[in-house]
Amino acid sequence: MTGIDRQALVGASPVHALPKGRLPENVLHFVRILRAAGVPVGPAKVVDAISAAEAVGVANRTDFKAALAAVLCTRREHLDLYDQAFDLYWRNPRLLEKMVAAMLPQVQGRTGEEHRPPDAPARIAQAMAPPREDGPRRDDEDEVTLDAAFTFSPREVLQGRDFASMTADELAQVKRMIARLRLPLPQLPVRRTRADDRGARIDLRATLRRAAGAAGGAAPLAFRTRTRRSPPLVVLCDISGSMDRYSRMMLHFLHAITNDRHRVHVLLFGTRLTNVTRHLKHRDVDIALGRVTGAVEDWAGGTRIGASLADFNRHWSRRLLGQNAVVLLISDGLDAEAGAGLDHEMERLSKSCRRLVWLNPLLRYADFEARPAGIRAMLPWVDDFLPVHSLASLEALAAVLNRSAPGGARRDPGHRRSQARTLAPR
């Protein structure tokens, strides 16, 4: 804190009675503890927090707390954490020094850990596939590249294979293939324009600029056209026991698409809903999946699809489904609650998004029938119903999504049903 000139920060404002020099120091320590607790606070915020603290003064504890909150918090989710940290930290001024002394090494220890990520990948490696005996990893990476480039047999075999029946070795290969998958969504026109001489709207600004340059002569008109942009993608992935083998592969897929494009949100559900978008953003797939595993509490348990969708509709849909979002629902539709409330929530979900795609690994069975109550309740409300059990089906997904989206007729549930059925293999 010594590097910052307090007078410059505070200006001419009256500083409330406080031992000189202690407030900035304490604010700084408080910010460090907040950071360690998981509230992201940038360095510039420290300076702001000190000016805020000195502007409000420490005479009124509530004001002081609110002042620091206004500067240090940028999300509602952080407010609870902030409140707790504040109450702990600023409880007793005498205790303060001891606490800071006691907490600082901890804080440093924690931040040090951030850069040392071997635990998570190791755990994931154990969870995902048993250790392999056949030589170091580098070898098969080369092998796979060669596969992709010159031969096709192993790759082709893997393409059609069900994830559930693969060996650990095959799974590892498929994971690397999945990492290269992309999911192009059809781009939609947005209300922005770009210069384009074949566009439909006259660009007066550019035209006038040309006219001024070509004074005396005829000025050519300049045009603009609407730009196009991929819509947001929201993925709701079932991670209950019945989906276990698939959901792990799906996570690799989701990691690939989350890091490939903007505006992808991923939520996992079993008995409860967890937003894991932030965790999946990590570039390294092992670290990302490690964080996801840490964040999810209902891994491979039961399924409450209706309750999870209700949770999504209530708490997330308005935040995530704006601007023409496409929803991918990945689930086998086997609901522990026999589809209670499912019809209703599916209807709401379907009406809140632009396109609802249901990916179901059970569809791989040629004689799949929509017998279970959950599946019957969900089917009328989806735009596309597709299998998702193999690499080939994941690749086909991109093609289906890229096909022109269903138009106005999709608002009719009957239409949806017939369309959804035609996409199922029969």
Partner 1 sequence: MNAPMTPHPPPATVDATLDLLARGDYVADRRLATAVYLSLKLGRPLFLEGEAGTGKTEIAKVLAATLGRRLVRLQCYEGLDTASAVYEWNYPRQMIEIRLAEAQGRVVRDELAHDIFTTRFLMKRPILEALAPHDGVAPVLLIDELDRTDEPFEAFLLEVLAENQVTIPEIGPIRAVEPPIVVVTSNRTREIHDAIKRRCLYHWVDYPDAARELAIVRRKCPKAPESLAREVVAFTQKLRTMDLFKSPGVAETLDWAEALIALDRIALDPATVADTIGVLLKYQDDVGAITPEVAGKLVAEAREGIRL
Q: Name the residues that contact partner 1, by CB under 8 A.
A: 13, 40, 42, 44-45, 48, 51-52, 55-56, 60, 62-63, 66-67, 69-71, 73-76, 79, 190-193, 204-205, 208-209, 211-216, 313-314, 318-320, 322-323, 344, 348
Q: Which is nearer to partner 1, 78 or 282 (CB)?
A: 78
Separation between Cα atoms, residue 86 and residue 402, nearest integer Å: 50
Q: Nearer to partner 1 by C-beta: 74 or 126? A: 74
Question: How far is Cα 292 from Cα 251, in angstroms, rounded to an integer?
Answer: 9
User: How far, in Å, CA of 161 to CA of 392, rounded?
Assistant: 8
Write down the residue that tokens 């959804």 correspond to: 420
The least distance separating partner 1 from the CB of residue 94, rounded to whole angstroms, comes to 26
Pick between residue 41 and residue 124 the one whose CB is nearest to partner 1: 41
Q: How far is the CB of 310 from partner 1 (least distance, A)?
A: 9
What are the two backbone dihedrals, phi and then psi, of residue 411, each rounded to the nearest 5 degrees? -75, -10
CB 41 → partner 1: shortest distance, Å? Answer: 10
Contacts of 410 (CB under 8 A, 6+ apart): 355, 383, 416, 419
Alpha helices in 261-337 (DSSP H): 277-280, 285-295, 305-315, 317-320
CB closer to partner 1, 98 vs 351: 351
Pairing of strands 223-229, 273-275: unpaired
Please state the closest distance from residue 67 (CB atom) to partner 1, in A.
5
CA angle, corner 312, sides to 311 and 317, nearest 5?
A: 135
From residue 45, alpha-carbon distances to 10, 25, 27, 40, 265 in Å are 15, 14, 10, 10, 28
**Minimum separation from the CB atom of position 72 to partner 1 (A):** 9
Tell me the CA distances in angstroms from 180 to 93, 211, 251, 377, 395, one per residue in order. Answer: 55, 49, 14, 35, 11
Q: Nearer Cβ to partner 1, position 262 or 403? A: 262
Tell the smallest beta-carbon distance from residue 77 to partner 1 (Å).
10
Minimum distance, C-beta of residue 384 to partner 1, in the bound complex (Å): 24
Work out how close the CB of 51 gets to partner 1 at its nearest, in angstroms, rounded to a whole number: 6
- Measured from the CB atom, the residue of 169 and 343 that comes closer to partner 1 is 343
What is the C-alpha to C-alpha distance for residues 259 and 248, in angstroms, rounded to an integer?
A: 17
**Which residue, 309, 369, 364, is CA-closest to 339?**
309
Crossing angle for the helix pair 153-160 and 168-178, to the nearest 10 degrees? 90
Q: Which is nearer to partner 1, 148 or 211 (CB)?
A: 211
Give least dist CB 164 to partner 1, A: 36
DSSP letter at 34 equals: H
With CA atoms as reference, report the closest residue to 148 among 140, 134, 136: 140
Residue closer to partner 1 (CB basis): 14 or 131: 14
DSSP β-ladder status, 223-229 and 201-202: antiparallel
Nearer to partner 1, 296 or 310 (CB): 310
Question: Can you tell me the distance from the alpha carbon of 41 to that of 378, in angstroms, rounded to the nearest whole number?
Answer: 43
Using the minimum distance from each CB to partner 1, give the nearer residue, 21 or 42. 42
User: What's the closest the beta carbon of residue 128 comes to partner 1, in angstroms?
Assistant: 31
**DSSP letter string, 217-268:** SPPPP-EEEEEEEPPPEEEEEE-SGGGHHHHHHHHHHHHHHHHHSSSEEEEE
Least distance in Å: CB of 235 to partner 1? Answer: 16
Its sign, for the CA torsion 9, 10, 16, 20, is: positive
Q: Residue 361 in contact with residue 386, Cβ under 8 Å?
A: no
Closer CB to partner 1, 182 or 205, in the complex: 205
